[in-house]
């Protein structure tokens, strides 16, 4: 079975990008080991005023230190940090955006959680998703998997007993499907989103939603359908973050033949104005996204 290193070499990845992806992949082992001792919530809040799980703060500090000391990155923006971290002595110009522990509230119930990473060049995190050099997410479930795109489709690797990533699924393509997951509650949804959900339910769509964005998206990648966290009546920009969640996952989705939208345009076309910018998110099968945009009166 093809290893992650072998795949990156065959894909023609430049040495620095290859080394950075391999380094990120190796962090799955210490992260998994930390789950047992970092399950509780801590007496701190992130930059959004949300209570943090111990695993949020631990994973953020761990990954930031490892990548910062590597000499591979110039900037790092994390959902858990107020400011963009800058590493002026880096030998490379890669810039990282990350959600270090997506779905951390589910750790105590032993449901799947993950780490989301986007990698830009040119030394800056403030770029649209069209400029990503690579995106990946680590999923900590029954298997530890690494789902990756370096702009040449989407590959899924699974970690073996020796800590080596081996190719599990090659060139993933999002099928048209009828699964859906949506954040918010019906009374808070904006009218176009409510109309979209009611329409697909009438067509037989079935809800699949855990509250872990990365795990819920992986179901959509595998079986098709749509994941959404919409604009809400009192939160018109939704809940999820453009840089840390929407852009990396959107890049992977579109590389797998899927589509993304905020209701009006691709998530990858949005140029961030600030690191912690929020956006409504729709990501999944092309047919589902066309229905979303039709509900919002969008044509593209």
Q: 48 in helix, strand or coil?
A: coil
160 carries a ligand binding annotation = no
Q: At 232, list the tokens.
A: 């809400």
DSSP 132-161: EEEEEEEEESSSEEEEEESSS--EEEEE-T
Dihedral angle of Cα 282, 220, 161, 149, to the nearest 10 degrees: -50
105 carries a ligand binding annotation = yes
Kindly report the number of other CB atoms within 10 A of residue 186's CB atom: 10
104 carries a ligand binding annotation = yes
Query: Residue 149 and residue 156: Cα distance in Å, rounded?
Result: 9
Task: Answer for the pair 186, 107: CB distance below 8 angstroms, yes or no.
Answer: no
209 carries a ligand binding annotation = yes
102 carries a ligand binding annotation = yes
User: Strands 179-182 and 206-207, how do they pair?
Assistant: parallel
Query: Residue 209 and residue 214: Cα distance in Å, rounded?
Result: 11
For residues 34-59, b (16+ Cβ closer than 10 Å) or e, as one string? bbeebeeeeeeebeeeeebbbbbbbb
How many residues are given for the chain?
300
Establish how many alpha carbons lie within 13 A of residue 286's alpha carbon, considering only the half-sphere containing its beta carbon: 8
What residues contact residue 110 under an 8 Å CB cut-off, 6+ apart?
A: none
103 carries a ligand binding annotation = yes
- List residues forming the annotated binding site for substrate: 102-105, 209, 239
- List residues forming the annotated binding site: 102-105, 209, 239
């Amino acid at each position: 079975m093809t290893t992650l290193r072998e795949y990156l070499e065959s894909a023609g990845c430049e040495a620095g990008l290859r080394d950075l992806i391999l380094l990120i992949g190796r962090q799955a082992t210490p992260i998994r080991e930390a789950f047992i001792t970092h399950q509780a919530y801590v007496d701190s809040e992130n930059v959004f005023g949300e209570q943090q799980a111990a695993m949020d703060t631990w994973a953020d500090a761990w990954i930031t230190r490892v990548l910062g000391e590597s000499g591979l990155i110039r900037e790092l923006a994390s959902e858990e940090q107020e400011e963009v971290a800058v590493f002026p002595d880096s030998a490379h110009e890669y810039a990282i955006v990350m959600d270090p522990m997506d779905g951390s509230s589910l750790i105590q119930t032993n449901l799947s959680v993950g780490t989301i990473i986007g990698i830009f060049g040119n030394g800056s995190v403030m770029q649209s998703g069209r400029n990503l050099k690579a995106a990946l997410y680590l999923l900590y479930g029954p298997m530890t998997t690494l789902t990756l795109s370096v702009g040449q489709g989407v590959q899924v690797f699974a970690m073996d007993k020796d800590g080596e990533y081996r190719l599990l699924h090659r060139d993933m393509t999002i099928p048209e499907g009828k699964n859906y997951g949506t954040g918010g509650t019906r009374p808070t949804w904006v009218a176009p989103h409510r109309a979209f959900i009611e329409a697909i339910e009438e067509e037989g769509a079935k809800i699949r939603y855990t509250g872990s964005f990365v795990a819920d998206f992986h179901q959509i990648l595998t079986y098709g359908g749509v994941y959404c966290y919409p604009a809400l009546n009192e939160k018109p920009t939704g809940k999820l973050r453009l840089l840390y969640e929407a852009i990396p996952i959107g890049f992977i989705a579109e590389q797998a033949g899927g589509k993304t939208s905020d209701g009006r345009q691709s998530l990858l076309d949005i140029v961030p104005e600030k690191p912690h910018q929020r956006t409504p998110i729709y990501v999944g099968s092309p047919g589902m996204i066309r229905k979303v945009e039709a509900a919002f009166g969008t044509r593209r």
